[in-house]
Amino acid sequence: MDSLSNVSPGLFENSDVSRGGGQVVRDPAADDGNPRVAIVGGGPAGMALALALKLHGVSAELFEARERDAVRQDGRVLALSDGARQVLEWLGVWPALAATPIKTIHISQRGGFGRSCLRAAEHGLDALGWVLPAGDLIAALDTAVTAAAIAYRDKQKVGAGDTASYALTAYAEGAVDPDAGIVRDYGQHAVLCSVSVAAPHRNVAWERFTSEGPVALLPLGERYSVVLTCADERVAEIRSMDDTAFLALLQQRFGTRHRFTAASPRSAYPLGLRYRQDPVGERQVWLGNAAQTLHPVAGQGFNLALRDIWELAQHLDGVADPGAPEVLAAYAQGRRVDRRGAIGFTNLLLDSFASDFGPLKHARGVGLLALDLMPSLRAFVAKRMIYGARAWP
């Protein structure tokens, strides 16, 4: 049996944090108390970065354009890898009671043979990933930020030059500037809701590829959180459907492995790829959604942000000048493989499963079947999903 338990994942290499988390890397008392890093964005990525820097003895201040209470009113659902769970446990903010474990990931294509299952037990893990409401994580982060006496300045929109007195400005929230990176419009929207099912979900997450786009079902409590991809021109129609019509559409897209019985109100947002080619500048660094915004297929977004945060905190530990060019260059170099890997993996999945062309569909089926039959390949894919592209075999 291939096990991930004995693998030293790239995310935690050369650190004092065990896979179980919980060990402080450096005594925060070593900080001189003068904030040297301005973090623009007081959402989950910004707060996680502030806490990570604090644990490495680097003082930071948070700036958020919204009211602080409004940040907590986040209705998203997050799909986190087990590697992300380890980072959040290290930060002391893992909301275990709100999280539903993913024990199996079932991958298939509609109208074609071949499927594959990744199972946590096969790799010696309790879960491959976790699903939780963003609001619960944000509440835990906000409480920890307050307890750590980290300055949080809400209702303050930061403009050019406003943080010039800091050694480093970290942009942790917001969209990627199109002028500074690469943009790809997928011509799709993600329709989000939760649904009830007739039979228990047994902690199985589903990724179902169709010619209209992928459909993901993520176990959350006793229900499923749904991400249904559709063409831009259909989003208004799908959002306006009554529940009966929507459930019929979802059933047709997903298949018969579950019977859907009820749906919540639906929301939607456009899908695209946006990423900065260089995540650092002169005394500036961009991470999370400010550095890259990905398609939700394979759930890479916030997991990649937490790996950005982890590595930046590692690079700033003990340095005299957090904004020094050589420090930022080393961070950018360290993130290059993981960022490119996540972006490339996401694009590959979308492009590979977008066509109903017969030979291509057959080739996809062969690939899924090979993944299901080869334990070493499944272990490789599982490690990449949990720890990112630096988790080499």
The model's pLDDT over 152-173, given as tens digits with 9 standing for 90+, comes to 999 999 988 899 999 999 999 8
What pLDDT was estimated at residue 379? 84
Mean pLDDT in residue range 119-137:
95
Counting every residue written for the chain, the total comes to 393
The yes-or-no verdict on residue 339 having pLDDT over 80 is: yes
What pLDDT was estimated at residue 377? 80
DSSP letters of 107-119?
A: EEETTSS-EEEEE
Residue that the structure tokens 């835990």 belong to = 140
Burial 96-129 (b: 16+ CB within 10 A, else e): eebbbbbbbbbbbbbebebebebebebbebebbb
What pLDDT was estimated at residue 258? 96
What pLDDT was estimated at residue 36? 92
The yes-or-no verdict on residue 10 having pLDDT over 60 is: no
Could you tell me the pTM of the whole model?
0.88
> Is residue 393 helix, strand or coil?
coil
Distance, in Å, from the CA atom of 333 to the CA atom of 147, rounded to the nearest integer, reads 33
